[in-house]
Structure 1
Amino acid sequence: MALTYFRHQLHLHGQKIVAVLIIFLLGLSSPAFSQGRIKTENLPGYEERLLRWGFSLGLNTSWYQLEHSRSYVNRLQTDSAYSANAVNRVGFNVNFIATYRLAPNFLVRFQPGVGYHGRAIDYKGDLRSVSTDDYVVQEVNTFSLEMPLLVKYESLRRKNSQMYFIAGVKPSFVVGGIKKGNPELLQVGSSDFTIEYGVGFDMFYPFFKFSPELRYSRGITNLHEPAHNNLYYNTMQRLTTNTITLYLNFE
């Protein structure tokens, strides 16, 4: 059943998120302890600067969240049943960073850039209406212009390190990758709006600040476009995005 599969997928993605978080935090612990033994304070007064600039590189994994349609559920009761499920893919991000201090521990960050996201939906079973095969993968690989606007809360600086939390919104617009009008390819919307939140760790070095950051993005825009009356589109009624990104920030 579709509901059973959804619960299974949610469980699997939850395991992935926990595993990535553990690896991420373990990776942070070593630099934190080593910096704690350093008596010299790098970039003194940096955390009090009103305006900061930088750039970031990111590695992401992204997938669609499907809400199956009534016609899909009805076909599960027939001999011509099939399954349609989301598959995650790996992508990357390149962003600029502009940060403005609002208060001693609160900052606002604008992080415009481009992101490559790979997502897919696999169809298995009776696909005679769209293909001679019983297994089809619809890949949706896109380049997007992204404009995250985030609020950052920093903890007190301890010598050359400090933790922070970050949250905000991200509008994005596809600038390449989607081939519109082809009934043999899954069509999705070209703009998205996501809620983002994450955690990071600032490490101060003599000439720059390095901040590994793990962030989760949850899309709230329905990207489903019923452009054609076929199995690819009739399967779902809602299509949203989920993304986990590891950013390496340099300021």
Structure 2
Amino acid sequence: MLHIQRTKAKNLKSRAFFLVLFFTVSYTSFSQKVLYQEDHDNKAYYFGISLGISKASFHTHLSPGFMEQDSIMVAEPMNNGGFNLGLLATMNLTRRFELRFNPQLMFTERNIRYQLKYKDQDFGYQVDKKVESVITSFPLQVKFNSDRIGNFRVYMLGGGKVDIDLASNAKARKADDMIRINRFDYGIEAGVGFNFYFPSFILSPEIKISNGLSNLHDRNENLNYSRILEAIQSRMIVFTIHLEG
């Protein structure tokens, strides 16, 4: 089932990429010569909504104790899909630069797969530890915009974020057999996107990479699956559609 879910998520992202590519080529080739929303770049600020899908995982650092034990051979982070909903507020700084605030609610799951040397009576030689998360993310980004080509424009972005995991299990009483994850995280983001101007709105598909900088791991010395990990950091690739006004 895990293999099927990963395959479906991979196929979904491939289809989304080719759909955006096809739409970009078609739109720039057959778009009307009339410029839509010519005065949009003169607005001091504007708002929008966001809808996206993500591929999330952990980046793990093994502890020195990993070499001192012989029961766990491999601890491998797995890629898992998720989706996010958000709001958008953008302020014009200059002709090229904009400041954007994009708070989001993200639903995702990040797993770590362990390969065991000795067979477990319940799981065999392979154990998956699941971490389900409901994250409120608060990214603040700077956008660099290209010139408009008709009703089309490219932009790049970069910035930082603060995340709060509402489903954090670090303080859960029944989390002794789980990988415990702290509630707060912060990190950096970078991405690229496209603006397609329509008479009443702007459609902006975007892809970005998000890397957490803090150590999320609440280490548990009594749990072998946790003891062998020194640090855990978040990693995410997000494809988002913004509807801006």
The TM-score, its normalising length taken from structure 2, stands at 0.86
Instruction: Give per-residue Cα distances to partners, 1:65-101, cap 9 Å, x unaligned.
Output: 11111111233xx4x3421110010001101000000
Aligned residue identity for 1:141:
E
Shift in alpha-carbon separation, 1:40–1:151, aligned structure 2, 3 A: same
**DSSP 3-state at the match of 1:232:** helix
Shift in alpha-carbon separation, 1:70–1:24, aligned structure 2, 3 A: farther
Aligned residue identity for 1:230:
L
Tell me whether 1:137 sits opposite 2:132 in the alignment. no
Unaligned residue ranges in structure 2 (runs of 5+): 1-10
Residue number in structure 1 paired with 2:56: 62
CA distance in 2, matches of 1:225, 1:234: 10
Residue number in structure 2 paired with 1:115: 106
**DSSP 3-state at the match of 1:33:** helix
Tell me whether 1:206 sits opposite 2:199 in the alignment. yes
2:29 aligned to 17, 34, 39, which one?
Answer: 34
Corresponding pairs, count = 232
CA distance in 1, matches of 2:17, 2:135: 29
Normalized per residue, the structure richer in strand is 2
1:194 aligned to 187, 194, 205, which one?
Answer: 187
Shift in alpha-carbon separation, 1:45–1:57, aligned structure 2, 3 A: same
Contact 1:130 1:184 in 2 (8 A): no
1:224 aligned to 212, 217, 232, which one?
Answer: 217
1:100 aligned to 91, 103, 106, which one?
Answer: 91
**DSSP 3-state at the match of 1:117:** strand
**DSSP 3-state at the match of 1:233:** helix
CA distance in 1, matches of 2:74, 2:198: 52
CA distance in 1, matches of 2:114, 2:163: 27
Shift in alpha-carbon separation, 1:118–1:132, aligned structure 2, 3 A: closer
Instruction: Give per-residue Cα distances to partners, 1:189-242, cap 9 Å, x unaligned.
Output: 111111000000000001100000000001101011113422111121010011
Aligned residue identity for 1:51:
Y
TM superposition shift of 1:173:
0.3
TM superposition shift of 1:29:
3.1
CA distance in 1, matches of 2:162, 2:121: 33
RMSD of Structure 2 on Structure 1 (CA):
2.6
**DSSP 3-state at the match of 2:65:** helix
Contact 2:136 2:163 in 1 (8 A): yes
Tell me whether 1:162 sits opposite 2:153 in the alignment. yes
CA distance in 1, matches of 2:72, 2:56: 27
Shift in alpha-carbon separation, 1:117–1:145, aligned structure 2, 3 A: same
Shift in alpha-carbon separation, 1:109–1:26, aligned structure 2, 3 A: same
Tell me whether 1:184 sits opposite 2:174 in the alignment. no
Unaligned residue ranges in structure 1 (runs of 5+): 1-15
Tell me whether 1:240 sits opposite 2:198 in the alignment. no
TM superposition shift of 1:38:
1.4
Aligned residue identity for 1:71:
G
- Decide which moves more: 190-199 or 41-50: 41-50
Aligned residue identity for 1:30:
V
Residue number in structure 1 paired with 2:243: 250
CA distance in 2, matches of 1:28, 1:242: 28
Contact 1:173 1:192 in 2 (8 A): yes
The TM-score, its normalising length taken from structure 1, stands at 0.84
CA distance in 2, matches of 1:87, 1:157: 40
Shift in alpha-carbon separation, 1:242–1:52, aligned structure 2, 3 A: same
TM superposition shift of 1:117:
1.9
Contact 2:106 2:134 in 1 (8 A): yes
Shift in alpha-carbon separation, 1:234–1:129, aligned structure 2, 3 A: farther
